[in-house]
Structure 1
Amino acid sequence: MADGRSTEGGAGFELPLLLFAGFRSIIDELHRDLAAQGDGEFRPAHGFALQAVGTQGASASEVGRRLGVSKQAAGKTVDKLERLGYVERVDDPDDGRRKLVRLTTRGIDVLARSAQGFDRIRAEWVAVLGAERVRALEADLRTITPASAYRLDAEGWFAG
Structure 2
Amino acid sequence: MPRSGADLALALLGGFRTLTDAAIAELARRGYDDVRPVHDFAMRAVAAGAESASELGRRLSVTKQSAARTIAVLQERGWVTSEADPRDARRKRLRVTPLGFEVLTQGEAVFDELRARWAEQLGEAELERFEAQLDALVGVLPIRFDTPGWISRDLGEL
Distance 1:119 1:80 in 2: 26
Residue in structure 2 matched with residue 141 of structure 1 by the alignment: 134
Residue 22 (structure 1) aligned to one of 15, 28, 31: 15
Tell me the TM-score normalized by structure 1. Answer: 0.85
Residue in structure 2 matched with residue 101 of structure 1 by the alignment: 94
Distance 2:76 2:58 in 1: 22
Residue 147 (structure 2) aligned to one of 130, 149, 153: 153
Q: Deviations over 1:93-114 (max 9, x none)?
A: 2333321111112101101100
Indicate the SS of the match to 2:34.
coil
Distance 1:97 1:144, change over 3 A: farther
Aligned length: 152
Tell me the TM-score normalized by structure 2. Answer: 0.86
Residue in structure 1 matched with residue 156 of structure 2 by the alignment: none
User: Which 5+ residue runs of structure 1 have no aligned equivalent?
Assistant: none
8 A Cα contact 1:90 1:99, kept in partner: yes
Distance 1:151 1:109 in 2: 17
Residue 50 (structure 1) aligned to one of 43, 53, 56: 43
Distance 1:152 1:56, change over 3 A: closer
Residue in structure 1 matched with residue 117 of structure 2 by the alignment: 124
> What is the identity percentage for the equivalent residue pairs of Structure 1 and Structure 2?
38
User: Which 5+ residue runs of structure 2 have no aligned equivalent?
Assistant: 154-158
Distance 1:98 1:59 in 2: 9
8 A Cα contact 2:50 2:59, kept in partner: no
8 A Cα contact 1:125 1:134, kept in partner: yes
Moved more, 137-146 or 41-50: 137-146
Distance 1:65 1:55, change over 3 A: closer
Shift, 1:72, TM fit: 1.4
Indicate the SS of the match to 2:62.
coil
8 A Cα contact 1:57 1:103, kept in partner: no
Distance 1:15 1:94 in 2: 50
Distance 1:84 1:100 in 2: 17
8 A Cα contact 1:88 1:104, kept in partner: yes
Residue in structure 1 matched with residue 59 of structure 2 by the alignment: 66
Matched letter for residue 84 of structure 2: D
